[in-house]
Structure 1
Amino acid sequence: MGNMTIIVTGSSGLLGSALVGALRADGSRVVRLVRRAPQGGDESFWNPAKGLIDPAALEGAQAVIHLAGAGVGDRRWSEEHKREVMRSRVDGTRTLAGALAKLSAPPGVFLSGSAIGYYGDTGDREVDESSPSGEGFMAEVVRAWEAEAEVAAAAGIRTVLLRTGLVLSREGGMLTRILPIFKLGLGAPLGSGGQYWSWISVEDWVEAVRHLLRTEEVEGPVNLTAPEPVTNAEFTRALGRAVHRPTMPLAVPGPVLRAAIGEFAQEGVLAGQRVIPRRLVGTGYAFRHNHLNDALFAVL
Structure 2
Amino acid sequence: MKVLISGGSGFLGTALSKQLLAYYQTKDQPIDITWLTRNTQQAHLHDVQLMSYDTLKDTDAAFDVIINLAGAGIADKRWSDERKQQLMDSRIKPTQALLDFIARSSHKPTCLISGSAIGWYGTQGDTPLTEDSSFEEDFAHRLCAAWEQLATKATELGVPVALIRTGVVIHPSGGMLGKLLPPFKLGLGGQLGDGTQIMSWISREDWVAALIFVLEQQLAQTADAKPHAQIYNFTAPNPISNAVFTKAVGHWLHRPTVFTLPRSLLQLMFGEMATLLVDGQKVLPKALEDSGYSFLQPTIAEALREQSD
Output the TM-score relative to the length of structure 1.
0.92
Match of 2:151 in 1: 149
CA–CA distance in 1 between the matches of 2:232 and 2:58? Answer: 28
| Aligned Cα root-mean-square deviation (Å) | 1.8
CA–CA distance in 1 between the matches of 2:99 and 2:307? Answer: 34
Identity over the aligned pairs, expressed in percent?
39
Cα displacement (A) at 1:71: 1.5
Match of 1:293 in 2: 301
Q: Which moved more, 1:273-282 or 1:29-38?
A: 29-38
Does the 8 Å CA contact 1:98/1:152 hold for their aligned counterparts? no
Q: 1:234 aligns with which of 221, 237, 244?
A: 244
Match of 1:15 in 2: 12
2:104 paired with 1:102 = yes
Cα displacement (A) at 1:260: 2.0
CA–CA distance in 2 between the matches of 1:24 and 1:131? Answer: 35
CA–CA distance in 2 between the matches of 1:147 and 1:190? Answer: 33
2:130 paired with 1:128 = yes
2:197 paired with 1:200 = no
In structure 2, runs of 5+ residues without a counterpart are 26-30, 222-227
Does the 8 Å CA contact 1:195/1:271 hold for their aligned counterparts? yes
Q: 1:258 aligns with which of 263, 267, 274?
A: 267
Cα displacement (A) at 1:245: 1.3
Cα displacement (A) at 1:153: 1.5
Does the 8 Å CA contact 1:119/1:133 hold for their aligned counterparts? yes
Give the SS at the match of 2:53: strand
Deviations along 1:143-192, whole A, 9 cap, x unmatched?
Answer: 00001101112222110001000001111111111112212222211112
Deviations along 1:227-279, whole A, 9 cap, x unmatched?
Answer: 0000111111111111111211x63211111122232112x101111000000
2:275 paired with 1:272 = no
2:173 paired with 1:171 = yes
| Aligned residue-pair number | 290
Match of 1:42 in 2: 49
CA–CA distance in 2 between the matches of 1:11 and 1:41? Answer: 10
Match of 1:88 in 2: 90
Give the SS at the match of 2:172: coil
Letter in 2 for 1:275: V
Letter in 2 for 1:30: I
In structure 1, runs of 5+ residues without a counterpart are none
CA–CA distance in 1 between the matches of 2:189 and 2:48? Answer: 46
